[in-house]
Amino acid sequence: MTYSIFDRHANMSEDTRFEITDLIKEISYSDEIEDSLSFNIQNSLYGLFDGYLYEDLQSECEELSSRLSTRVSRIFDICNLYPKLKTA
């Protein structure tokens, strides 16, 4: 699993944090998403709060509805612009 680490406290806005929280809720309550996929996406989104950006997040969100996929991709793109502290 490839990921990069960023300083969430220095970079992430309140609006981005609220959007991540909203996405986690919406994905967790969706009946259209397989449980294992839902867990993986939620886990990756929670990781953003700790400053971890998992590369798998983009490929996993392709299986979501286009609306949810677009929202997750937008959050990924925002976080991907943050200066990286480490890449693994």
Confidence of residue 32 (pLDDT cuts 50, 70, 90): confident
| pTM of full prediction above 0.85 | yes
Secondary structure (DSSP) of 52-69? EEETHHHHHGGGS-HHHH
For 50-62, the pLDDT digits (tens) are 999 999 998 888 8
Would you state the pLDDT for residue 12? 97
